[in-house]
Amino acid sequence: MKPEHFYVTTPIYYVNDKPHIGHAYTTILADVLARYHRLLGEPTHFLTGTDEHGQKVQQAAQAHGITPQEQCDQTVVRFQELWTKLDITHDDFIRTTEPRHKRVVQAILQDLWDRGEIYADEYVGWYCVPCERFFMEKDLVDGKCPDCNRAVEKLLEKNYFFRMGKYQEWLVRHIEEHPEFIQPEHRRQETLGFLRQPLGDLCISRPKSRLSWGIDLPFDQDYVTYVWFDALVNYISAVGYGADEARFAAWWPASYHLIGKDILTTHTVYWPTMLKAMGVELPRTIFAHGWWLVGRDKMSKSLGNVVNPMEMADTYGVDAFRYFLMAEMTLGQDASFTEEAFVTRYNADLANDLGNLTSRVVKMMARSFADKVPAAPAAGADEEELIAATLGAVNHMRDYLNAMQLDRGVAEVLGAVRAANRYFDRMQPWVLAKDPARQAELARVLCSAGECLRIVAGLLYPVMPEKMRALRAALGLPENQLEPHLETLAVWNGLVAGAELGPLETLFPRIDAKKPEPPAAKPAKAKEQAPAGVQLIDFATFTKVKLATALIREAERVEGADKLLKLQVQVGAEMRQVVAGIAKYYSPEELVGKTVVLVANLKPARLFGLESNGMLLAARAGKALRLLTPDGEMASGAEIG
């Protein structure tokens, strides 16, 4: 792809349920990136859509008493309505049930079959319905799916296979020679770790006797295509592969495939080997972001902690919701979403800093200069710090955009806003406004602060388009400049003297934090008696401690530390490193495979230079120490309480 073109994709989302914050985050992230690149003047293409085949869709349709196509048609509307609500500017929305997509998938399958890249064979394996994946028995964790920790079923059937394993060495070389291909770096290492084991061939079919909802194999009408082989092709079918070669050449390869970390293997192993077999160039970067958590828990329907993006946008405003998601998560890492954290950041960044500065500057300019932008003297020494912070934010945003560090870019912009607030307080324009002899000085102060706002509003436009258009309009910018161009943001003195100021409502009204209800009066009771030396805690305090089962996968001694062992433990689908002082009681060999009890929400600590994420529970009597373990078999990640 030509470097001046930018093509960004989201995963296509399953239509078996309504969208949640994970869907919203990835799509808003793609939208923000697309908007920034449009402001840079680059031809930009932004693709999203829905994955409408597979067992989960068929099961959801059966549960609702409708056909799979009706299930898709009803559910896809929820995504389309949400993207409209969240001001998503995608250039294309692809559905895998569209003829344009199905034709391409079948053409690829037929070509690979004709060239011997696909073959038929008997298959014995363990199948996970929620993940729609087969696993070898050695890959199971306590007899369950290693990805979602749910039950699997053993299947023996004829199927068709893609010769994925033959491309293993090539893929390892490509990843090693192109460090930008998988980002962030720890996800690149995760994929390389996966590829240290032999890579088998990929089952790419499902018999219609078990699953009828999918794209027919063109060479065997008794089978449909495996949903992942179907879904991944959307990235090229949507931009003309096999149908419009000029259009395909203009956009491919993609600049970024944005994905959640839970679909890393399908995108960094399945997809590149498929493209290699097809003779198609690989995407430039596959970027895996983290999960939104509540505390340390992943959001899930079973826990009842899923954030509904529609409700958040309705309650607090679309732009504020978009801002929080971009400012709060460091790309590649998990982030915690709580309403309390949302309100705290909203009030600090938007209401107090940006909103308050806007109100003070625009209102004083309107009052002192008859609703017009005044002509101002050139900036002087008093403005040096403000100008440096503001123009510095322009350069930093460009750099952080290229480095996929949007949260740091946003932080730099807010740093410029705070510099403007300090400047405003130091120059005291309300004092200048009372002295007719100092009106030129007043104009310089107001225009300098206003100039910072003009640039800041341009930098934050991709994140908060509606509010930043309103801010730029309030500063007297004409309609054709409300959507900025980044080159105009790198130049000071962009406000036009004599321009009519626009109307300004409060951009970000302060949110009053919810006050906890006073506890109901309780009948008096006898004072609790604690054993000597024991401090009683109430139940609410106890519930703050999260205990979970953890499976020890690896164990080794810490060099130079007689008491410490370094453990790699699995907690559900998550791997953690724990450093435990149990080397005098257990050898590394006897720990591997043991299920233990872990304090799962302990703050990370460093022991002997190693990070430890959690603490094992043990019982001690005299010189004896034994780890606490479940009474019988128990899956890792099970909650204790």
The last residue of one of the domains, among 459, 489, 519, is 489
| Structure confidence at residue 300 (pLDDT) | 59
The DSSP secondary structure of 419-460, one letter per residue, reads HHHHHHHHH-HHHHTT-GGGHHHHHHHHHHHHHHHHHHHHHT
Tell me whether strands 13-14 and 44-51 are parallel, antiparallel or unpaired. parallel
Are both 565 and 434 inside the same structural domain? Answer: no
CA 127 to chain centre: 28
Q: Is residue 225 part of a domain?
A: no
Q: Which of 199, 271, 269 is nearest to 230 (CA)?
A: 271
The last residue of one of the domains, among 456, 472, 489, is 489
If you average pLDDT over residues 98-119, what whole number do you get? Answer: 98
If you average pLDDT over residues 113-138, what whole number do you get? Answer: 86
CB 209: neighbour CB atoms within 10 A? 9
Are both 405 and 468 inside the same structural domain? Answer: yes
Structure confidence by residue, pLDDT tens digits, 258-297: 999 999 999 999 999 999 999 999 999 999 999 888 766 6
- Binning pLDDT at 50, 70 and 90, where does residue 526 land? very low
Are both 568 and 461 inside the same structural domain? Answer: no
Q: Which two tokens stand for residue 68?
A: 């799979």
Q: Is residue 171 part of a domain?
A: no
Q: Which of 81, 637, 32 is nearest to 308 (CA)?
A: 81
Share of the chain above pLDDT 70, in %: 91
Cα dihedral 130, 205, 229, 248 in deg (nearest 10) = -150
Is pLDDT at 163 greater than 80 in this prediction? yes
Are both 358 and 479 inside the same structural domain? Answer: yes
Are both 483 and 552 inside the same structural domain? Answer: no
* DSSP-derived 3-state class of residue 63: helix
239-245: which pairs have CB atoms within 8 A and are 24 or more residues apart? 239/7, 239/45, 239/47, 239/92, 241/104, 241/280, 242/103, 242/104, 242/107, 242/108, 243/100, 243/103, 243/104
CA 196 to chain centre: 27
Q: Which two tokens stand for residue 350?
A: 């938007």
Q: Is residue 138 part of a domain?
A: no
Are both 349 and 413 inside the same structural domain? Answer: yes
| Structure confidence at residue 1 (pLDDT) | 41
Cα–Cα distance for residue pair 259/228, rounded to 1 Å: 14
- Binning pLDDT at 50, 70 and 90, where does residue 533 land? very low
Q: CATH number for the domain including 351?
A: 1.10.730.10
| Structure confidence at residue 56 (pLDDT) | 87
Q: Is residue 117 part of a domain?
A: no
Are both 477 and 576 inside the same structural domain? Answer: no
The DSSP secondary structure of 336-356, one letter per residue, reads E--HHHHHHHIIIIIIIIIIH
Is pLDDT at 340 greater than 50 in this prediction? yes
- Binning pLDDT at 50, 70 and 90, where does residue 305 land? low
The last residue of one of the domains, among 489, 504, 530, is 489
Highest mean pLDDT among 242-251, 579-588, 616-625: 242-251
If you average pLDDT over residues 74-90, what whole number do you get? Answer: 95
Cα–Cα distance for residue pair 58/52, rounded to 1 Å: 9
Is pLDDT at 609 greater than 70 in this prediction? no
Q: Which of 415, 408, 443 is nearest to 429 (CA)?
A: 443
Structure confidence by residue, pLDDT tens digits, 536-549: 665 556 656 888 88
Q: Is residue 245 part of a domain?
A: no
**CB-based contact 152:126 (threshold 8 Å):** yes
Q: Is residue 476 part of a domain?
A: yes
* DSSP-derived 3-state class of residue 102: helix
Are both 343 and 471 inside the same structural domain? Answer: yes
Q: What end-to-end distance do the CA atoms of the chain give, in Å?
A: 54
If you average pLDDT over residues 81-108, what whole number do you get? Answer: 97
306 against 341, higher pLDDT? 341
- Binning pLDDT at 50, 70 and 90, where does residue 229 land? very high
302 against 28, higher pLDDT? 28
Q: CATH number for the domain including 604?
A: 2.40.50.140
Cα–Cα distance for residue pair 60/44, rounded to 1 Å: 35
DSSP 266: I
* DSSP-derived 3-state class of residue 38: helix
Is pLDDT at 349 greater than 70 in this prediction? yes
Is pLDDT at 528 greater than 60 in this prediction? no
Q: Is residue 169 part of a domain?
A: no
Q: Is residue 558 part of a domain?
A: yes
Structure confidence by residue, pLDDT tens digits, 6-52: 999 999 999 877 888 889 999 999 999 999 999 999 999 999 999 99
Are both 467 and 348 inside the same structural domain? Answer: yes
| Structure confidence at residue 368 (pLDDT) | 96
The structural domain count of the chain equals 2
| Structure confidence at residue 91 (pLDDT) | 98
- Binning pLDDT at 50, 70 and 90, where does residue 520 land? very low
Are both 475 and 555 inside the same structural domain? Answer: no
Structure confidence by residue, pLDDT tens digits, 382-396: 999 999 999 999 999
Q: Which two tokens stand for residue 315?
A: 């309650």
Is pLDDT at 621 greater than 70 in this prediction? yes
| Structure confidence at residue 132 (pLDDT) | 73
- Which domain range does residue 586 map to? 539-640
Q: Which of 598, 593, 590 is nearest to 633 (CA)?
A: 593
Are both 475 and 616 inside the same structural domain? Answer: no
66 against 302, higher pLDDT? 66
pTM as predicted: 0.77
**CB-based contact 157:122 (threshold 8 Å):** yes
Mean pLDDT score of the chain, rounded to an integer? 89
Structure confidence by residue, pLDDT tens digits, 365-378: 999 999 999 999 99
Structure confidence by residue, pLDDT tens digits, 463-519: 999 999 999 999 999 999 999 988 889 999 999 999 999 998 899 999 986 544 444
Cα dihedral 123, 129, 131, 137 in deg (nearest 10) = -40
Are both 364 and 474 inside the same structural domain? Answer: yes
Cα–Cα distance for residue pair 500/373, rounded to 1 Å: 7
Is pLDDT at 532 greater than 60 in this prediction? no
Structure confidence by residue, pLDDT tens digits, 589-604: 788 778 889 888 888 8
